[in-house]
Amino acid sequence: MKKLLKHMKGYGKECVLAPLFKMLEAIFELFVPLIMARIIDFGIGNQSQPYVLKMCGILIALGVIGLTCSITAQYFAARAAVGFATRLRHLLFSHVQSLSFSDMDQVGTSTLITRMTSDINQVQNGVNMVLRLFLRSPFIVFGAMIMAFTIDVKAAMIFVVIIPLLSIVVFGIMAVSIPLYRKVQTGLDRVLKRTRENLTGARVIRAFGKEDTEFEEFQESNQALVKMQIFVGKISALMNPVTYVMINIALVVLIWTGALRVNAGDISQGEVVALVNYISQILVELIKLANLIVTITKALACANRVQSVMDIEPEMPKYASERKVNNLDCDTEAKINIPEENNQITFEHVSLTYKGAGAESLTDIDFEIKKGDTFGIIGGTGSGKSSVVNLIPRFYDVTKGRVLVNGKDVRDYDLNALRSKIGMVMQNAVLFSGTIRQNLLWGNPQADDKQLWEALEIAQAKEFVEQKSKGLDEVIEQGGKNLSGGQRQRLTIARALVRKPEIIIMDDSASALDYATDAKLRQAITNLEDSMTVIIVSQRASSVRTANQILVLDDGAAAGLGTSDELLKTCKVYKEIYGSQFKIDKKGGAAV
């Protein structure tokens, strides 16, 4: 929490004024019982109506001033808390954007969402409550006791006894309930995680008819959370009856003592009423303080969870100058071994092991791609195709070997500079809520309509976009749910083409397209005037067989490298894949 509090900078004025105005409100509140005593003793006792009216006017004035102070304190507290939470969300979101895929895989999407929403809201509430009540409640408790001593020392001794007893009950219940509240928060995380999985995977659940099973599992998690909340609620619920019993016993003793003191002429009836009011104030403020500490505890736990995400050091610094290898800056061109060949992309004996994995996902991958070539990657499910291409824009870092783009290690690039050279079409077609134009402009914010239509034409998406009533301004729902799978894939390809990259990577991004559209798409990309290096990842032999080179992967290792005809003769894995989709002649070549 201490690390997060540095982001309160700029709200110093609010952090001083909010408690200050609350203290002023508390001072005015402490004067109210004394004025009531005056009304009873002098106004009612002497049957002086003008005096009663005058004192009532003072009470109203104190109430108005107190209300003004309270509203002012709330304004400054809310301003500081909301401003702090807003800044914290911006910083957390920015930090999450800097994390690598490995970091995000380790933390988990549902955890990051919870940290950015629920946890920061709890921190905001905690800051707000601290600024409003942290000084006010103790001030009222001890102020009321001191005021009681100014009225009558003997009667005020009841306060000396009741305040510690009330504190023991209040803080004892709180000490038991706080750890339970932490368990409740953990249980809430589990429910949120299961809810998110069910909502994102609703189609899969329905396809397999697992609605009842998932409902039962959700009910189980939810019921566990409910039971825990009811249990901690019962413990917390003890606070009010126990404290009210103690206060009422104290009131009985106070009234009994007060009556004896009144008969003896030591104090007046109005002063007894004032003492009763002070005891009531103490009870209310102790309960407020207990609730405040519970809120603070929740806020601290949530702040620590937010800080744990902020403490994750990005595995891949955004700027190459931040990275050190062998105690040398890697951004110096003179220190980089640039090959003489004009290779666009080079993999030098690359291996990759994901965090937490027991074995390598890629082993000793070694190949070169010439500038302007089309390079195919094919293999079975889980063979490591996506892992290979994810290393080029540096979504993951190699664990052995090097990946070079234009003769320079990808780790020596600033990430923005590296990724500006690459157009990436992911395996899962992801579109964002907004118009088609807004989605395409992700590729190049400066692109005009002519460039957008050119990209759509190459991606074989122009026809269906033209059929939309609003054309480029057609609204896309979240995730592109109002489009078919093929339409989503073609738009994501167009989005990558808009930026006119040096390298375009199509990671199984045409799987929803028919063979004819797939062929037209590949032909259109090949015929571009500014020929770009094209990397096609696919399980379809038809998508890669015209490539200049094809890398065949099998269980993370290279099973073959060459043209389609060469691989049909030399690579058993490629021959099996090809044979499952096309006929092979008796000589082992592709049948015409």
Q: What would you measure as the largest C-alpha separation in the chain, in angstroms?
A: 124
At 381 the pLDDT is 83
pLDDT digit string (tens) for 116-175? 888 899 899 999 999 988 888 888 888 888 888 888 888 888 888 888 888 888 788 878
At 375 the pLDDT is 93
Between CA 6 and CA 529 the distance in angstroms is 54
At 589 the pLDDT is 56
Which amino acid is residue 404, in one-letter code?
L
Bridge partners of 550, per DSSP, are 376, 562
Tokens encoding 275: 């003492």
Nearest to 403 by CA among 360, 357, 351: 351
Bridge partners of 400, per DSSP, are 351
| CB 348, CB 366: distance < 8 Å | yes
At 336 the pLDDT is 40
Residue ranges of the chain with pLDDT lower than 70?
A: 1, 316-343, 529-530, 584-592
Tokens encoding 469: 């009533």
Task: Classify residue 445 as exposed, middle or buried by CB count within 10 Å of its CB (0-12, 13-18, 19+).
Answer: exposed
Q: Which CATH architecture has domain 339-421+538-592?
A: 3-Layer(aba) Sandwich (3.40)
At 266 the pLDDT is 83
Bridge partners of 379, per DSSP, are 553
- Which CATH topology does 2-310 take? ABC transporter transmembrane region fold (1.20.1560)
- Residue boundaries of the structural domains of the chain: 2-310, 339-421+538-592
Nearest to 8 by CA among 119, 127, 120: 127
pLDDT over 70, % of the chain: 93
Between CA 362 and CA 553 the distance in angstroms is 9
Beta pairing, strands 362-370 & 374-379: unpaired
Between CA 86 and CA 227 the distance in angstroms is 34
pLDDT digit string (tens) for 449-469? 899 999 999 888 888 888 888
pTM of the model: 0.71
At 551 the pLDDT is 94
